[in-house]
Structure 1
Amino acid sequence: MPSPTSTTSHRAAEIRIPARERPAASSRLFLLLIAVCTAVTAANIYLAAPLFPLIAHDFGTVPSAVAWIASVAQFGYAAGLLFFAPLGDRVNRRPLVALLSLATAAALGLGAAAPGTAALAAAVFVAAAATVIPQLLVPLVAERAPAHHRARHVAAVIAGLFTGIVGARVVGSLAGQAFGWRWVFAGSGALTLVLGLATALALPSERRAREGALFSGIAELPGLVRRSPDLWRACVRQAGMFGAWSALWTSLALLLTGPAYGLSTATAGLFGLFGLTATAVAPLAGGLVDRFGAAKVVRSAYVLAAVSVPLFWLGGQVPAALFVAAVAIHAALVASHVANQTLALTTTSAPATANTAYVVAGFTGGALASTLAGLAFTHWGWGGVSAVAGVWLVLGWATTAVRR
């Protein structure tokens, strides 16, 4: 495994950044723009989840019959990561970010006009596949951050990522209740286009010197993970953590708008505010990773997530338990993500490709857990969803604990 020093020098040899552009890339304003763009684009992955009751009513069906679209979005995002994110090691990110922003906006526009479930699912898949912009920007931030503050810089972007994911539930449900779900899709497409193009213009121009075919990064993924135990461990542990979170969070609207609580779509969406408070954990987690290392932070995050699962189960009848569980699971997910992604970005000499392996693993785990959670809710209710989340946590930790 390459040392941090050799990794840094290798990256410097691969990327040639004009000196006049380095200050812009390291400025707080630039980091803020990336964080905001990350928030908006990440929200597109979960845009449909809080709108299921409205979508189902529009299409003349029940919410549980359209809940599978949440899994379609996650599989789409994983596919986009697999094909587009490794390009960060090979091409100039500026035109790539602009092109993906255009594609995302177009897909969301088609989703807004979808006549049925199948057409909407296809549009959501394409939009999620194209909205991989955050995972092109995170490696860029890590490359340019000072070594002793790298985790903190990564944490700033991750805070934007989770603000968008959780904010999608709050803003989407309120806007959907007021204007209809189709206008939410159209508005998100317009916002993605504006911020995506603005970010593309602000990115530094890069010259990539890596050899090989354009999509050869895909072929490199298995070998890269096999050669790096730290990367493999980060991938599996985040798949377990993200799967547990996805099972609970994507099914939450079904619980809150169902017989147990009977809330409206807008009121249920406000529940996301409890998760939004946990995004403040990202800067704290970044500092802890820089000081104590990623392994200790991930271990603590898993303990917190394990405590939150029975609280979620109890929250099927007790609102207070649901409130505490929402904050706990988001804090665990954010802390785990900051630690694992920092490890993934710094453990190899191909950060964009390693980041692809890491995020694809996480979202694949999330998509599978969401699919099983939807089936579990249909057959066993909220207790079945909680069981899926618990199993995913056990698998994520136990699998990495038995390998040297």
Structure 2
Amino acid sequence: MSAASSLASTAPTPPALTPALVWLMALTCGLVVANIYYNQPLLGEIGRSFGVPDRQASIVATVTQVGYTLCMLLVVPLGDKLERKRLILLMQLGVALCMAAAAWAPSFGVLVGASLLIGVFSAVPQLLLPMAAHLARDEDRGRVVGQIMSGLLIGILLSRTISGYVGAHLGWRTMFSAGAAAMVLLGAVLAWRLPTDRPGFAGSYASLMKSLFTFTRELPLLRRAALVGGSMFASFSVFWTTLVFLLEGPPYHYGSDVAGFFGLIGACGALAAPLAGRAADTRGPDYAIGIGIGLSGLAFGILLPGSTWVAALVAGVVLLDVGVQATHISNQSRVFSLIPEARSRLNTVYMTGYFIGGAAGSLVGGWAWAAAGWPGVCAAGMGFVALAFGFSRFYGRA
């Protein structure tokens, strides 16, 4: 028996996973993860509000993803040790308070600090996904994960549409205030409907954290999934962090509401999530991952003329979102199948790599935009997709 297997404890029999509970989890994932992305269409307005340039304003998006990554690394593993419902409700309260703090931020520095904490407390989906995988039957796991991921992905994309519209007409502070109120209401529903789910890990927090390194060392499939997922999410973040800068400048001169509307277009890609989950169940994760990487590479080729041709932006957004999400869901389906009793920790390793990639993509996107404009952004996105292909094709295959 490997050390990784010895660190996975036997969990108690889980409660039944009903369709209504799946939809509640999907809705929760969408609403909570939206907190991370409300700021992206608003970066131009935020910069003007505090008198900072676009490159500095993009730090708000970067630190939010950094906070999300820190929580996944340090808190989400507790989903294998502590009762998940209580942990989720505590995080709901935290994100509501931080969203309110961002809405009333008196300076750019305070907003950056609040954004970091928003990212920290918005990692609720990374507790719900292992919970759903734990409750689902083996033959349905990919489909259930795909359905919940549909909610998460729609939340990611529609958050930009909503925040862009609200920011253009009511101001960016109103969007953060509305997000805080939504978290309070959602917390009340979860307290009422979410079942208790006590995992079986009985060790200390130190041994829990140590097991992350053991799993990473002993499971090459886990390492490959994290590297592929991180590279793909980096390409996704390169595009979405800089899109608002392109659309607010010549030749478009659009406001944040139009920039956010592209999230609505991209939400079409979320419809592919359940299909990707079924493909991972029936044909294996590698099949869907290969398709996802190919579609994302094609997307950046189509996006390149988007600096002057809006139809190219529309087509590229759909392809990019389908490609990235198909890859992500297939990766998660694979990760959740490795050691069932350690799904929160396995998800922590995978999602930490995923959001390190996202934060890197936001940072590189800002640099690429400042240095080379839209062609630089597309080149950076294509570079990350190529990196994902290399990891998927060659890493850990021995």
Picking from 107, 114, 135, the partner of 1:144 is 135
Shift of the alpha carbon at 1:366?
1.1
Instruction: Give the distance between the partners of 1:54 and 1:310, measured in 2 at CA.
Output: 29
Which residue, 382, 394, 397 being the options, matches 2:374? Answer: 382
The C-alpha deviation readout for 1:291-318, integer Å capped at 9, x for no partner, is: 1010111011111111111111121121
- 1:93 alignment partner in structure 2: 84
Identity %: 30
Distance 1:323 1:360 in 2: 30
- Counterpart CA distance in 2 for 1:177 and 1:320 is 23
| TM-aligned CA deviation for residue 64 of structure 1 | 3.5
Deviates more, 1:98-107 or 1:343-352: 343-352
For 1:166, the equivalent position in structure 2 comes to: 157
**Could you tell me how far 1:269 is from its partner in structure 2?**
1.4
What CA distance in whole angstroms lies between the structure 2 residues aligned with 1:238 and 1:206?
A: 28
| Structure 1 residue aligned with 2:168 | 177
Counterpart position of 1:126: 117
Summarize deviations over 1:383-404 as a string: whole Å, max 9, x none.
1111111111122221343332
Is the 8 Å Cα contact of residues 131 and 197 (structure 2) preserved in structure 1? no
Q: Equivalent residue of 1:260, what SS?
A: coil
Partner of 2:12: 15
Checking the alignment, whether the CA contact within 8 Å between 1:105 and 1:190 is kept in structure 2 is: yes
Structure 2 CA distance, aligned partners of 1:15 and 1:230? Answer: 27
Q: Is residue 80–residue 130 contact of structure 1 (8 Å, CA) maintained in 2?
A: yes
Specify whether residues 216 and 176 from structure 1 end up closer, same or farther in structure 2 by C-alpha distance, changes over 3 A only: farther
Change over 3 Å in CA distance of 1:50–1:209 after alignment to 2: same
CA shift for structure 1 position 216: 3.7
Q: List aligned pairs for 1:3-402, cutoff 5 A.
A: 13-17=10-14, 22-23=15-16, 26-214=17-205, 216-348=207-339, 349-402=341-394
Q: C-alpha distance in 2, partners of 1:196/1:337?
A: 27
8 Å Cα contact 1:106/1:189 also seen in 2: yes
Structure 2 distance, partners of 1:254, 1:313, is: 15
Q: C-alpha separation between the residues in 2 aligned to 1:208 and 1:238?
A: 26
Query: Per-residue displacement from partner, 1:10-64 (whole Å, max 9, x unpaired)?
Result: 77x32344xxxx24xx111111111111101000111111111221222123433
Contact 2:230 2:358 in 1 (8 A): yes
Query: Counterparts of 2:187 and 2:84 in 1: how far apart (Å)?
Result: 12
Q: Is the 8 A contact 1:97 1:197 kept in 2?
A: no
Q: Distance in 2 between matches of 1:400 and 1:278?
A: 22
Residues 94 and 201, structure 1, Cα contact 8 Å, conserved in 2: no
Cα distance, 1:208–1:147 mapped onto 2, change above 3 Å? closer
Larger deviation: 352-361 or 57-66? 57-66
How far apart are residue 344 of structure 1 and its match? Answer: 0.9
Q: Do 1:15 and 1:207's aligned partners in 2 also have CA atoms closer than 8 Å?
A: yes
Number of aligned residues: 392
C-alpha contact 1:286 1:339 (8 A) present in aligned 2: yes
Preserved contact between residue 16 and residue 207 of structure 1 (Cα < 8 Å)? no
Q: Which string of whole-angstrom CA distances, capped at 9 and with x for unpartnered residues, describes residues 330-356 of structure 1? A: 000111111001111111241100001
How far apart, CA to CA, are the structure 1 residues paired with 2:208 and 2:373?
Answer: 42
- How much does 1:77 deviate? 0.5
For 1:15 and 1:256, the matched residues in 2 are separated by 52
Distance in 2, Cα, partners of 1:395 & 1:292: 24
Shift of 1:260: 3.1
Alpha-carbon distance, 1:215 to partner: 5.2
Letter in 1 for 2:94: A
Q: Deviations over 1:108-163 (max 9, x none)?
A: 11111111211101001001111110000001111111111110000011001111
Provide structure 2 residue ranges, at least 5 long, that are not aligned to the other structure. Answer: none
**Aligned alpha-carbon RMSD (Å):** 1.7
CA distance in 2, matches of 1:320, 1:214: 51
Distance 1:200 1:278 in 2: 31
CA contact (8 A) 1:87 1:215 kept: no
Cα deviation code 1:259-301 (max 9, x no counterpart): 2311011122112121011111011111111110101110111
Any conservation in 2 of the 1:37–1:196 contact (CA below 8 Å)? no
Give the 3-state SS of the residue equivalent to 1:185 in structure 2: helix
- TM-score, normalising length: structure 1: 0.93
